[in-house]
A and B are shown apart, each in its own frame.
Chain A
Amino acid sequence: MLLGRYLLRRLLLAGPTLLGVLFITFALTRIIPGNPIDRMVGFFVSDERRAEIMREHGLDQSYDKQFVRYLGGLLRGDLGTSFLTSRPVVDDLRQRFPATLELTVCAMTIAVLAAVPLGVASAAWKDSWVDHLGRVLSVIGVSVPVFWFGLVLVYLFFFKLGIAPPPIGRLELSVVAPPVVTGLVTIDALMARNLPALWSGLRVLALPAFVLGFAAMAPLARMARSGMVEALDSPYVRAARAMGLPARTVVVRHALKNALLPVVTMIAVVFGYQLGGVVLIESIFSWPGLGQYAFNAAANADFPAIQGFILYATTIYILLFLVVDVLYGVLDHRVRYQ
């Protein structure tokens, strides 16, 4: 019950947060020089005609009126129409979100599955070769630029060895795409019992997900390690050991559970960041995700698209941190929701 009330309060608080973010985004897009109309109609049109087009798009109104109109649209679920794609921003986001989600979930799965065992092992066998390996991998993961790593893997596995599929989008060209239900290629393929498409989707996902997952693994592994080192050194672990509990129980049951808390927060941060789109990786793998969309929108001053994207990204963060807070309660019984 307490949890329910807590969640409700948090969701209500999300309202003002979103409004603030919307306001800042709106103000920034208007302050920074640039106008979507220029890109749309070019310079050949007369000033009168240009003014007319501005009026058609409501860009001639004062900023406060534009903002109120935008908020009004939002309440009806209308994020406006993108100047670049000529489509409603909602549709654009809806189309690109699954691509980003699919890639990110795969990447984070790889990252977490690699980082937590690596971090735990590094801490449990501190200063052993496992620990050194973990350190080296983490340094590489943090310092190697993802776009470079991505390009190298494409060069190696696609170009040289010819075993990875061409980095064009989410399915190989020869594969018949399954009907779009969720927008997640793998899930849609499963639902349509289209095994070749499922297979192709996974093959295409492998490289970009690995590159992203590797980059995300590094901070998570370091965090898991430092958390574990601290936990293993704590009085309760010493007490548990003194009571003669098996090493495995001590490490997994007692230490890991406490060490995981900061890791969970970190996972949420990295996950949220990646769900905002990863421009460089999307670029190298021609992945039609949100990063490319946001990048193009920003470069071309596509106001509605920028605003829509920021709104989406903010919502993602709010939701993720809500999930983290709930997980804290599950992982740590000392946490109480008030």
Chain B
Amino acid sequence: MNAYRMQHVVRSAATLLLAAIVLAAGYLPVTQAQAGKGALVVAVGGDIETIDPPVTSGAPFQHEIITNLYDFLIDFGVRKADSGEFIGDLNRFTGEIAKSFTVSSDGRAVFRLRENARFSDGTPVTAEDVRYSYERIFGVNAVTAALMRMATVNEPAQVRIVDPRTVEIKMTRSNPLLFGNMSQFGHAIVRAATVKAQATGQDPWATTWMKTHAAGAGAFVLERWTPGSEVVLARNEHYWAGPAKLRQISFKVVPDASTRALLLRRGAVDVAYDLALDDLEALRNDPNVTVRRFPTTIVKYLGMNVNVKPFDNVKVRQAIAYAVPYDTIIKEAVKGYGLPLRGPVPKGMSSNDESVVYGTNPQRARQLLAEAGLGGGFRTRLTLRSGFPVDEQIGVWVQSALRSVGVEVEIDKLPLAGYTDRLRKHEFPGLFIHEWLSINNDPFYHYFWLFRQGCCNYGNWSNPEVAELINTMMLSTNTGLRNDASRRAQRIIMEEAPWAFLFQPEYVISMRKSVAGYIYYPDRYNRWYSVSKE
């Protein structure tokens, strides 16, 4: 072998060796990259879009971020559950920025502000900040303004400064909806001076700036938001109740549910949202992980567009309600992570009445179809969202059950935007699958959106008597009368069967055992103030 060849071989061997070392070193086991004590890492499925409180109508995670960045005058309270743990209660209210609050019979709600409530820059929260926040809510005139008007607070002048530490909200008519409508993200109190400094002639409410910046007095502040990657919150050292236990929370966008589950089991993240129900079994057997499940008041339903034949016929709607395989759907589509829903008002909401229910009864369904003159069956379509595995499963079960009573269902799986378009226009060509959560846990609030002609009555069903009950009772403060009326409304709705009531899904959150102090709130917006990590 000549010298040149020799040199060549040596050089090649050296290169190979170097490459091998590099590869091997790259894959040496490493200690888990944890952000350490006091810093929590949460794997979430998607990013947020905006953090401007009164405008958003997005995913729960977005509302959760706002809820942690801002305090409201009042928030939902907490109660001790039978299990001994604390959980949020949609029927109780507690002061956040308001130290105390009272409501008089003539509809004046008076809020005394906490002396030590401070924005994240350390400046005190004043009555003017509260007043301005509500002026802005009406100014941007989106979701939150609609909720205020629903509680008969129609214009900013109804929110008045009594003294620098006291604010009064005057309802046009005294009603039981105000506090429930106020205990949520849209009612965030913003620092007036900060927002005004960002306002321009064209954008008087600084909506552009507020989409990506926070000006709040919540338990956390926005440390950074890298779109598509992460949202990082740091604790607000000036928080009125003392700084949160967690120093920092990083919400990492991990779009794939299986990846989220693996990250949690491996300890690379502390909490994982929205895991596939199929993955939960493995997680429950993992000694380092807790899978926590809580009841919700979400109603999951199979809607029917009553403007489309033959769903204008009550017998057809009842037949569908008898044909749906309720138990199978709970067992298969949500793997048991749900409760049966027996009527329009979910369990956990007052006046829930289950005196009329539909069970799965194909015999009865066929009979009703025959009475409707459709003994030979009919063809229809079912619209659902693609990328929602539970809905897709429900669709398949409904399809096969309806086929057995002679109804041929064609499934239209639409991308979110296309589905939302049909939803908004109330133009489903037949059946559809949807869900609803009334954040104000009030049956008439619930009926108001769902069972009278209006924005969210996607199947277009209405009934003069129910409409009348909603009109007369929604603002009534007479609890007894209201509950009677609500039970009456439920019975009519059940007879009329505008939907097939499927189930109440459970809220499932999975976390490492090292995470403590978690409190579930039934609006699904986790408040991280109480949480700590060993």
The interface of chain A, by Cβ under 8 A from chain B, is: 32-36, 38-46, 49, 83-87, 92, 95-96, 151, 154-155, 157-159, 161-169, 172-175, 199, 202-203, 206, 282-286, 288, 292-293, 296, 298-301
Q: Known contacts A36-B417, A44-B456, A151-B256; can you find 9 more A-B pairs with CB under 8 A?
A: A41-B57, A44-B142, A83-B49, A85-B49, A86-B211, A95-B226, A154-B262, A299-B417, A300-B417
Contacting pair B229 A288 (CB below 8 A): yes
Query: In the assembled complex, how far is the CB of residue A47 from the closest CB belonging to chain B, in whole angstroms?
Result: 9
Tell me the nearest residue of chain B to A92, going by C-beta.
B227
How many residues of B sit at the interface, in one of the four size bands?
A: 35 or more
Minimum C-beta distance from A89 to chain B (A)? 12
Q: How far is the CA of A219 from the CA of B417 in the complex (A)?
A: 35
B263 CB-CB contact with A under 8 Å:
yes
Tell me the smallest distance from the CB of B49 to a CB of chain A, in Å.
Answer: 5
Question: 30 A-B residue contacts at CB 8 Å?
Answer: A34-B417, A35-B421, A35-B424, A40-B57, A42-B57, A44-B455, A45-B141, A45-B142, A49-B141, A84-B49, A85-B228, A95-B227, A151-B258, A155-B262, A162-B266, A166-B269, A168-B252, A168-B254, A168-B263, A168-B269, A169-B230, A174-B34, A284-B258, A286-B229, A286-B256, A288-B253, A292-B255, A298-B415, A299-B387, A300-B416
- Chain A CB count within 10 A is highest, among B26, B55, B227, for B227
Query: Is the Cβ of B253 less than 8 Å from the Cβ of A286?
Result: yes
CB neighbours (8 Å) of B266 from chain A are: 158-159, 162, 166
* In contact, B455 and A286 (Cβ under 8 angstroms): no
Complex contacts, A165 vs chain B, CB 8 Å? 30, 33
Which parts of B170-213 form the interface with A (CB within 8 Å)? 208, 211-212
Contact B255 A44 (CB under 8 A): no
Q: Which residue of A lies closest to B147 (CB)?
A: A44
Interface membership of chain B positions 395-426, coded 1 if the CB is closer than 8 angstroms to chain A and 0 otherwise: 00000000000000000000111101111100
Say whether B41 faces chain A, with CB atoms less than 8 Å apart.
yes
Is B29 on the interface with A (CB-CB < 8 A)? Answer: yes
Cβ contacts under 8 Å, B125 to chain A: none
Within 8 A of A (CB), among B226-249: 226-230
Interface check B512, CB cutoff 8 A: no
Say yes or no: is B28 at the interface (Cβ < 8 Å to chain A): yes
Which B residues fall within an 8 A CB radius of A? 26-30, 33-35, 41, 43, 46-47, 49-50, 55, 57-58, 141-143, 146-147, 208, 211-212, 226-230, 250, 252-256, 258-259, 262-263, 265-266, 268-269, 387, 415-418, 420-424, 455-456
In the bound complex, residues from chain A placing their C-beta under 8 Å from that of B211 are 86
> Given the complex of chains A and B, what is the CA–CA distance between A144 and B268 in angstroms?
28
Contacts of A49 in B (CB 8 A): 141-142
B186: nearest residue on chain A (CB-CB)? A44
**Chain A binding site: helix, strand, loop or mixed by DSSP?**
loop
User: Could you say which of A35, A154, A285 contacts B417, with CB atoms under 8 Å apart?
Assistant: A35
Are B35 and A43 in contact (CB-based, < 8 A)? Answer: no
- Which of chain B's residues have a CB closer than 8 A to the CB of A42? 57, 142-143
A44 and B57 contact, CB distance less than 8 A: yes
- Docked pose: A9 CA to B212 CA in angstroms: 44
Which B residues are CB-close (under 8 A) to A163? Answer: 27-30
- Asked if A86 and B212 make an inter-chain contact with CB atoms under 8 angstroms apart, the answer reads yes
A151 to chain B minimum Cβ distance, whole angstroms, is 6
Bound together, the chains give a CA A249 to CA B29 distance in angstroms of 45
In the bound complex, residues from chain B placing their C-beta under 8 Å from that of A96 are 228
Q: Is the CB of A39 within 8 A of B415?
A: no
CB-CB under 8 A from A162, the residues of chain B are: 29-30, 266
Chain A residues with CB below 8 A from B226, complex form? 95, 288
Using CB atoms, name the residue of chain B closest to A39. Answer: B420
Residue from B49, B208, B423, B456 having most chain A Cβ neighbours under 10 A: B49
Q: Which residue of A lies closest to B227 (CB)?
A: A85
Q: A169, B420: Cβ atoms under 8 Å? A: no
Compute how far the CA of A9 lies from the CA of B17 in the bound complex, rounded to whole angstroms. 49
Given A44-B143, A165-B33, the answer on whether A38 and B227 have CB atoms closer than 8 Å is no
Whether B417 contacts A168 by the Cβ 8 Å rule is no
Q: Give the distance to chain B from A190, nearest Cβ to Cβ, in Å.
A: 15
B263 touches A167 (CB 8 A): yes
CA distance A203 to B27 in the complex (A): 8
Question: When A159-B265, A169-B252, A286-B256 are in contact, do A39 and B58 touch as well, CB less than 8 Å?
Answer: yes
Count chain B CB atoms within 10 A of each CB in A155, A173, A292 and give the residue with the most: A173
